[in-house]
Chain A
């Protein structure tokens, strides 16, 4: 599994930024996820999937949908943190749609507020399995 690569686009859908910093930490010399073939890319067009942090705010909902649409199929959606997974402390309200699955089809939920970097790596590797499962029929 570790021989394969997964390129992800980060999408801040309205997080408090702690989940985002833990994603950034994955690239630091301690976790260095690039050694596992995982990287964060600048454009959704280059991505195999999206890592979403935060609930989906009203002011970002359109951008969240458009970013997802710009990613080629098959694509995975990974919800990082309590806000992305369920709405977390933000919940549903005038400014928030709640969890990411209210807006996008989520494949993997990574709990935590924020999840530790190890948990995020684990979740991404789970997602990698999901992606393979979906690819197989096309390849077969």
Chain B
């Protein structure tokens, strides 16, 4: 705090919040932001968790606000978010850009320029991010006076200025947005010499659906169903993260039995994803036996999801206040048996991968993400841990059963190589750990309430923040209610949001034919990045 004050020219006011363990620092001058961020990232070893812009021009504040939210990175550091809050003049909406010093801020700043019209002065990339060609200038959909249900005409536009290299023998390879397989849409512009990738410029946000705007004005209990559907494979994690943020606002805690059931489901989501991802990595390496086994094991896990919750993506289990289905003992017995079978099948698959020199050759040294790059970009999840970054939100921001006063221990898997093989190894270790954890959670289950009620209307003007370790890494949820307890603003920073720029870096160490393999080894979401 003192170091922060020393670094600021203007005033710094500190408040506790949003949670009792958190701190919000109001900077008197927006110009002090880079210095304050440098103190948090340097001496305090924090990383950028998320950036949330809000439009408060219709309130007595008559301004826009931007919150830069940081979190500790040292393993075992206390669970605390530090928010740097600045007020932005609506008549001249500008903030100093952090991107050159804090590369993780890059997309956040471009997003607020597109959606709020807040210009990050000094940002190295002037291109739009979320809104694409033909979006009219000067129209900012996340501003409050913009009617979100309104269709906006498409204006004539030039071709998007992709970043490409030029020179003799340099080729440009455009791929997407519609891909050859059953996968999500994105555009990749490679420049290559022969097989070697010189540069990859990825363009996303094709699946931008305006979901954050869509949730505004709804009852938080209704908006939950949208949060649960932002992303298919993170359905449970995002549903749970939204619920935790909302429960903070409501001042309630889900009962212990519900916390355990949530943690079981969170691990089941990790399991079907990790197992399926390993299968798909085999597809990228042309090892079709592995692809088929991975798909079969994943299918079995999704069938058990359906038996437990009625939905193959675990939707309909978590609900604000707890869980709306209980897990009876006979189902838990089926679950335990299925997981033991899965473990045997998965161990055999990993054994076959490791024993197959041509697969190992494709994976070793392919798509390397350097440790420092992973730190600078605040990369999350498997990709971070495979580059030696020891971060896992289950430990760093305890949630579900890990928030218990006597939490189960969690072995965070890290390796240092940063290549595709390392990302397979981390997944393999995490599959075994998840199966062990589910066993531990089941043992801890005791009869009791599975849900508490949230009274409507919900308290007005409050903020909830949560971080959940989904299968794809840490997701950060930020929710604020308006004066009458409806959703005033919700923002999700998905794990993939910070990881996409890392894929581009890793791809530049690879050859063009290995890109599908590199991409599958990261296995990022488009839908929860784009929202």
B205 near A: Cβ within 8 Å? yes
| Shortest distance between the CB of B155 and any CB in chain A (Å) | 12
Q: Mark A100-116, 1 if CB is under 8 A from B, else 0.
A: 00000000000001101
Q: Mark B139-183, 1 if CB is under 8 A from A, else 0.
A: 001000010111110100000000000000000000001101111
Asked if A92 meets B178 with Cβ closer than 8 Å, knowing A17-B527, A60-B206, the reply is no
Select from chain A the residue with minimum beta-carbon distance to B203: A59
Contact among B184, B207, B213, B298 for A94, CB-based, below 8 A: B213
Q: Chain B contacts of A11 at CB under 8 A?
A: 178
Contact among B207, B298, B315 for A57, CB-based, below 8 A: B207
Q: Chain A contacts of B292 at CB under 8 A?
A: 28-29
Once bound together, how far apart are the Cα atoms of A19 and B315, in whole Å?
A: 13
* Contact segment of B12-20, B228-236, B428-436: B228-236
Once bound together, how far apart are the Cα atoms of A63 and B203, in whole Å?
A: 14
Select from chain B the residue with minimum beta-carbon distance to A28: B295
Once bound together, how far apart are the Cα atoms of A89 and B207, in whole Å?
A: 14
Q: Mark B285-300, 1 if CB is under 8 A from A, else 0.
A: 0000000100110110
Asked if A95 and B231 make an inter-chain contact with CB atoms under 8 angstroms apart, the answer reads no
Q: Chain B contacts of A55 at CB under 8 A?
A: 209
Asked if B207 and A15 make an inter-chain contact with CB atoms under 8 angstroms apart, the answer reads yes
The residues in A between 17 and 73 inclusive whose CB is less than 8 angstroms from any CB of B are 17-25, 27-30, 40, 42-43, 54-55, 57-60, 63, 67
Asked if A92 meets B151 with Cβ closer than 8 Å, knowing A40-B182, A57-B206, A59-B205, the reply is yes
Asked if B207 and A54 make an inter-chain contact with CB atoms under 8 angstroms apart, the answer reads yes
Asked if B296 and A28 make an inter-chain contact with CB atoms under 8 angstroms apart, the answer reads yes
Asked if B184 and A12 make an inter-chain contact with CB atoms under 8 angstroms apart, the answer reads yes
Asked if B299 and A28 make an inter-chain contact with CB atoms under 8 angstroms apart, the answer reads yes
The tally of residues in B whose CB lies under 8 Å from a CB in A reads 50
Determine the main DSSP class of A at the interface with B: loop
| Shortest distance between the CB of B306 and any CB in chain A (Å) | 8
| Shortest distance between the CB of B345 and any CB in chain A (Å) | 12
A90 near B: Cβ within 8 Å? yes
Asked if B296 and A17 make an inter-chain contact with CB atoms under 8 angstroms apart, the answer reads no
Contact among A40, A59, A92 for B208, CB-based, below 8 A: A59
Asked if A90 and B211 make an inter-chain contact with CB atoms under 8 angstroms apart, the answer reads yes
| Shortest distance between the CB of B316 and any CB in chain A (Å) | 10
Asked if A15 and B210 make an inter-chain contact with CB atoms under 8 angstroms apart, the answer reads no
| Shortest distance between the CB of A79 and any CB in chain B (Å) | 16
Once bound together, how far apart are the Cα atoms of A103 and B207, in whole Å?
A: 16
Contact among A28, A42, A93 for B149, CB-based, below 8 A: A93
B189 near A: Cβ within 8 Å? no
Once bound together, how far apart are the Cα atoms of A67 and B177, in whole Å?
A: 11
| Shortest distance between the CB of B450 and any CB in chain A (Å) | 23
A86 near B: Cβ within 8 Å? no
Once bound together, how far apart are the Cα atoms of A40 and B135, in whole Å?
A: 33
Asked if A16 and B231 make an inter-chain contact with CB atoms under 8 angstroms apart, the answer reads yes
Once bound together, how far apart are the Cα atoms of A94 and B209, in whole Å?
A: 8
B526 near A: Cβ within 8 Å? yes
Asked if B182 and A90 make an inter-chain contact with CB atoms under 8 angstroms apart, the answer reads no
B225 near A: Cβ within 8 Å? yes
Asked if A25 meets B299 with Cβ closer than 8 Å, knowing A12-B184, A59-B132, the reply is yes
Select from chain B the residue with minimum beta-carbon distance to A41: B180
Once bound together, how far apart are the Cα atoms of A42 and B207, in whole Å?
A: 20
Contact among B149, B214, B295, B306 for A29, CB-based, below 8 A: B295
B525 near A: Cβ within 8 Å? yes
Asked if B210 and A95 make an inter-chain contact with CB atoms under 8 angstroms apart, the answer reads yes
Once bound together, how far apart are the Cα atoms of A10 and B180, in whole Å?
A: 8
Contact among B152, B180, B214, B298 for A90, CB-based, below 8 A: B214
Asked if A19 meets B149 with Cβ closer than 8 Å, knowing A57-B206, A95-B209, the reply is no
Contact among A28, A40, A60 for B177, CB-based, below 8 A: A60
Asked if A20 and B232 make an inter-chain contact with CB atoms under 8 angstroms apart, the answer reads yes
Q: Mark B200-224, 1 if CB is under 8 A from A, else 0.
A: 0000011111110110000000000
Q: Chain A contacts of B177 at CB under 8 A?
A: 60, 63
Select from chain A the residue with minimum beta-carbon distance to B142: A94
User: B residues bordering A, Cβ < 8 Å?
Assistant: 131-132, 135, 141, 146, 148-152, 154, 177-178, 180-185, 205-211, 213-214, 225-226, 229-233, 235, 292, 295-296, 298-299, 302, 306, 312-313, 315, 525-528
User: A residues bordering B, Cβ < 8 Å?
Assistant: 10-12, 14-25, 27-30, 40, 42-43, 54-55, 57-60, 63, 67, 88-97, 113-114, 116
Question: 11 pairs across A/B with beta carbons < 8 Å?
Answer: A16-B229, A28-B299, A29-B292, A54-B207, A58-B132, A63-B185, A90-B209, A93-B149, A93-B209, A93-B213, A114-B232
